[in-house]
């Protein structure tokens, strides 16, 4: 039986965000016995420069690719909220959907995007990070927030920690030397997002980035996060 402290929820904007930012950490945690759940907020239907591609076809392709990557990493379940790529807004409805899955899966830990990264950063990343943090604190905790959940049998839940990916000031560095090649394998599932040229050099590019992220902590290959302990 999985312990409460071993449940992880990853809340990202697009298919492939989880793998680029945290696949090594996710694979590491799965190997340690943690249960990892994905909440993917958009369908990624804008991410193509192919003149013959349509949004409808691309959404189907990207869901298939995301499920492939999640299977490589051992993710327990993947849920797609289905918002259009570029269409995330900070609304009570969107926040309520994240709250619902927090109350369904009862995560101890959440991974999400940095909502405050400076300058160039996908707007969906900013939005999902901000809304996910608000969902964690205080909405998922407070019984009288989204009371319809209680009528459906879902109880308030207190998330204990959040790992922010894409932070410009990380304070937590995860050693992914043993799971680096799992990250590479998972990212190869996202073929629609990787040019042939990029695919050829994928391992080298990822290794260079992981080495740079690990330097401040003296780790050969790392993923970096800003970790928040949620106060109660």
Chain segment 100-146, per-residue pLDDT in tens: 999 999 999 999 999 999 999 999 999 999 999 999 999 999 999 99
Domain count, the chain: 1
Q: Which domain holds residue 54?
A: 4-229
pTM over 0.85: yes
| CA distance linking residue 205 with residue 173, whole number of Å | 19
Structure confidence by residue, pLDDT tens digits, 41-92 = 999 999 999 999 999 999 999 999 999 999 999 999 999 999 999 999 999 9
Tally of CB atoms within 10 A around 87: 16
Banded model confidence at residue 198, pLDDT cuts 50, 70, 90 = confident
For residue 109 the two structure tokens come to 């830990």
3-state secondary structure of 111: strand
Alpha-carbon distance 45 to 88, whole Å? 13
- Percentage of residues in the chain having pLDDT higher than 70: 100
CATH code where residue 11 lies: 3.40.50.10320
């Amino acid at each position: 039986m999985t312990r409460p402290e071993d449940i992880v929820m990853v809340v990202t904007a697009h298919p492939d965000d989880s793998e680029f930012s945290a696949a090594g950490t996710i694979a590491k945690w799965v190997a340690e016995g943690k249960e990892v759940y994905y909440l993917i907020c958009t369908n990624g239907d804008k991410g193509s420069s192919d003149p013959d591609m349509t949004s409808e076809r691309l959404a189907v392709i990207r869901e298939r690719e995301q499920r492939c990557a999640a299977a490589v990493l051992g993710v327990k379940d993947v849920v797609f909220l289905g918002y259009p790529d570029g269409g995330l807004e900070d609304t009570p409805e969107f926040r309520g959907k994240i709250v619902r899955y927090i109350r369904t899966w009862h995560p101890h830990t959440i991974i999400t995007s940095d909502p405050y990264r400076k300058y160039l950063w996908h707007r969906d990343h900013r939005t999902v990070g901000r809304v996910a943090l608000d969902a964690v604190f205080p909405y998922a905790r407070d019984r009288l927030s989204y009371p319809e959940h209680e009528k459906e049998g879902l109880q308030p839940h207190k998330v204990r920690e959040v790992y922010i990916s894409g932070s410009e000031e990380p304070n937590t560095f995860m050693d992914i030397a043993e799971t680096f090649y799992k990250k590479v394998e998972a990212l190869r599932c996202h073929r629609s997002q990787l040019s042939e040229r990029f695919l050829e050099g994928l391992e080298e590019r990822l290794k260079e980035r992981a080495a740079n992220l690990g330097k401040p902590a003296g780790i050969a290959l790392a993923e970096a996060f800003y970790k928040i302990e949620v106060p109660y």
